Amino acid sequence: CWSVLNDELDTISERPYDPFYLDSDDRKLFEQEIKPFWKGRSNYEQWLAQIPDDTKALRDTGVIYINRKAVRGFGETTAGYEWLVREGLEGIESKIKARREELDLTRPGDYEKDYYLKSLLLVADGIRILASRYGREAEMMAAAESDPDRRDELLEISRICNRVPAQPASSFREALQSLYFYQTCIFMEQNAASYNPGRMDQYLWPYFQNDLASGALTKEQAQELLGCLWVKFSEPCLFQDEVTAEFAAGYPMFQNVCVGGVDDAGRDAVNDLSYMIVQATMDVQLYQPSLSVRYSLAKNPSKFLRKIVELISLGTGFPAFHNDDIGIRMLMNKGIPLKEALNWNPCGCVETNLEGRLRHFTALADINLGSVIEFALLNGVNRRTGQQVSLSTGNPDNFADFDEFLGAVKQQFSHITRAVVKGNHVMDEVCMNRPCPALSLTFKECIEKARDYAWGGAKYNTGNGIILIGVADLINSVAAVKHVVYETGQATMAELVQALDDDFAGHEELLKQCREAPKYGNDDPQVDRLVGDLFTFFADEIERYESKFGTMTPGILPVSGNTPFGLEVGALPSGRKAWRPLADGVSPSGGTDRLGPGAVLKSVSQICHDRFVQGTLLNLKVEPEMLRDENGIQQLMALLKSMCSLGVYHVQFNVIDQKKLIAAQQNPDEHRGLLVRVAGYTAYFTELGKDVQDEIIGRTVVREISAS
C-alpha cells in the first residue's frame, strides 16, 4: 500500500473513484516512518520491475489490467471458518503442535517446516490476545455503566470475547463472534478483498438448532444477532490505487455469504437459518455482506425461491443468484472431486470456491475484448496511441473472407493471453515471498504440509483466473463485420475501418447499418453460433497454460472494469461510439436486446458456463412496478427456473426506477443510501464515479417477463 499512497498523496482525497482522506498526523507518520521502511519492498515495485516488455506494453495501453494482485493481498478465498468455530484456536494449535512432534530436525527441510509451524502458533496467540483485549474493554465499560441491562450485556460480551475464538464455540452467539474475530484478523494481515464467510447456514446450523432446543435463544434473538453481524461486516472498506478503484468502484469488500443449494450428500440444504440470513439482508440493507444464493432446481423448495424473489424486489441489488448444478460442475472442472464440489460456495463477485481447501487468485488479470477487435482491424496498432503494441495479423483489407478475419481475432486473443500468463508467473513468484499465516491457519493441509497458502499449501491449488471483459462488444462487432462486409457488402473493410477511425462522423448511414446488424441477446442463431465458437476457443486458449499451481482458468466478471476498459477503446463495428463503457459481464450491450429476458437467457446459454470456472456474470435491470404484485413475483420465479434449465450460471438484478437513478446522480446528497448492483457486488450509487453511474443507467430495462 505504501507505493499507492506515495503516488497519490496529494490527490487521493480528490480522485473520482473511492477517495480517502489523510490528516496531517497520519501524513507525517507515513512520510517519516512507513515510506522509508517500505520503499523498494512492496509487491507492486518488485512485480513491475520484472514483468516482460510485451506484458507492460499491453498493460500501459489498457488492453489488459493486471495490477490488481500487485497492490492488494490474496483475498478471493474462503478460509476454514467452520473448523475454527468448531475446534477453536486451542484445537488448531494442538494440531500444529502434533505436526511439529512428527518432524525430525536432522532431516533436510524439516527445520524450515518447524520454523513455519512456529509462525502459525504465534499468529494464533495474537488472535487470542486481540480477542481478550476486547474482553477487557467490555469489562471496563461494564464497571462504569449505570444501566443494569447494558451492564449485563457488556459482561456477556466480555465473557464471550474471553472464550472465543480461543475455545470451541458453545452457542450460536459465540460462533458468530468467533468467525467475526477471525474475519477481522485476516483483513488485518493483508489489504485484500473477498474473504468469504461462505455457507453460514450450514456450519452455524448446529449451534442455532441446539440453542433453540435448549431455550438458550429465541429465533427473534438469533435474527437480531445476525443483523448486528451484518452491520459489522459493513464497517471495513477496501484501500486501493486510483486505477484499481476504477475496476472495482465503491469500496467493495466482497465478503460473500451463501445460502441454499445441496449438502455433501446431494440433498436439499435449505433450513430455517437460510431464510433468516436472507431476512437479515432484507432488514439491514447495507452494502455488505454480499449475499449469494445457490439454487438447486431439482432439490430446493419453491418457498425458498419465493423468499429470494421477495428480496430481489426490494431493489438492494441482493442476492446474486447462482445455478447450483453449474457451480458444482465448475468446481469439478477445477479438479475438485464431486463429494467436495457439492459443498462449493460463491466467492467475491461470482467466482467459485471451497471452504478451507482451495488456493488461487480468482481474478488475476482482465482482458479487454474491445481491444482484441481493434487490433484485428488495425493490424495490432493501438488506436489511441498509434503504436504497434500487439501482434501483426495483416491488413484487414486483404482478408479474403470472414474466416480469415475471425482468425485474426483469435490470433490477437492468443497473443494477449500469452502476455497475461507471463505477468501471472511473475506475480506468483513475488507472492512466494509474502506468506499469510493468519489465513493459512485454518487450512488444514497448510498445517499438514507445513506450507503456507501463498506457497501452495492448500489441499487444492489451481491456476489463477483470467477474466474477459466486453463479451457483447466483441460478439456484436464480429457479427457486424460478417453482416456488413462479408454477407451484404454494404461496406468494404476499408470503408468500415475509416468510419471507425472517424468515430462514424460523416458515416451516418454505415453507423445505422452497423447498429441494425444482428445483435447478441436476441436468441438469434446467426449471432449465437459465434458465441459458442469464440468462447469455446477462448476457454481452450487460456487452459493451454500451466502455472506453478495448476492450469490457468477463465472467467467473465467485469466488476466495474468495463467502464475504464471502454475509455481505452475507439469506435467498434457494433455501432458503439469511441471511448464509451463496454458491456458488463455476459450481459447484452444496453438497448440492443429487444426481445426480453427470455431471449437474453437463450443467447447467454450459448456460452459453456461450466468451462468458465471463475464464474460468469449476468446483470438484468427490472422496473420496480413489475414486482409489486403476485403475477410479477411468479413471473420472476419462472424466469429463474428457466435460467437453471438453460444452464446459465448466474444472474443478478437492479430493481430500480430510472428516474431515481438520474435524480441521485444530479442530487447525490439526497440519495446517499441508494444501493445498486454494479457487477457481482452492491455499492452505494452516489459513491460510484460518473462513468460507472452512466453505465448502470444505460442498461436495458426489463418491463415485462416472458420466460418461455
Residues labelled as active-site residues: 349, 351
Helix axes 402-431, 471-481, angle to 10 degrees: 160
Question: Do 472 and 698 contact (CB within 8 A), yes or no?
Answer: no
Largest CA distance in the chain: 86
Question: Do 587 and 621 contact (CB within 8 A), yes or no?
Answer: no
Question: Do 618 and 597 contact (CB within 8 A), yes or no?
Answer: no
Helix H, strand E, coil C: the string for 532-576 is: HHHHHHHHHHHHCCEECCEECEEEECCCCCHHHHHCCCCCCCCCC
Adjacent-strand bridge partners of 550: 547
CB-based burial label for 565 (10 Å; 0-12, 13-18, 19+): buried
Question: Do 693 and 701 contact (CB within 8 A), yes or no?
Answer: no
* Separation in Å, CA 22 to CA 14, 72, 258, 456, 579: 11, 20, 35, 37, 33
Question: Do 292 and 274 contact (CB within 8 A), yes or no?
Answer: no
Closest CA to 520 of 589, 419, 465, 446: 589
Residue 679, C-alpha cell as written in the block? 457487477
Element (H, E) at 662: helix 658-666
Vertex 292 angle, CA 291 and 293, to 5°: 130
Write the DSSP symbol of residue 706: -
Return d(Cα 438, Cα 434) in angstroms, integer.
12
Return d(Cα 599, Cα 579) in angstroms, integer.
28
Order of strands across the sheet that contains 619-622:
256-260, 290-295, 320-323, 650-655, 619-622, 701-702
Return d(Cα 85, Cα 204) in angstroms, integer.
9
Residue corresponding to grid cell 477463465: 554
Residue 5, C-alpha cell as written in the block? 499512497
Q: Assess whether the previous peptide bond of 36 is cis (omega < 30° from 0).
A: no
Question: Do 446 and 453 contact (CB within 8 A), yes or no?
Answer: yes
- What DSSP line would sit under 38-55, residue for residue? HTTTSHHHHHHHHS-HHH
Write the DSSP symbol of residue 685: G
Question: Do 294 and 274 contact (CB within 8 A), yes or no?
Answer: no
Alpha helices in 248-364 (DSSP H): 272-284, 302-313, 324-333, 338-341
Helix axes 53-60, 402-431, angle to 10 degrees: 110
Q: What b/e sequence results for 366-384 when a residue is b if at least 16 CB atoms lie within 10 Å of its CB, and e otherwise? A: bbbbbbbbbbbbbbbbbbe
Adjacent-strand bridge partners of 320: 292
* Neighbouring residues of 442: CB distance < 8 A, sequence distance ≥ 6: 79, 80, 81, 83, 84, 92, 182, 356
* Separation in Å, CA 143 to CA 146, 184, 645: 8, 26, 60
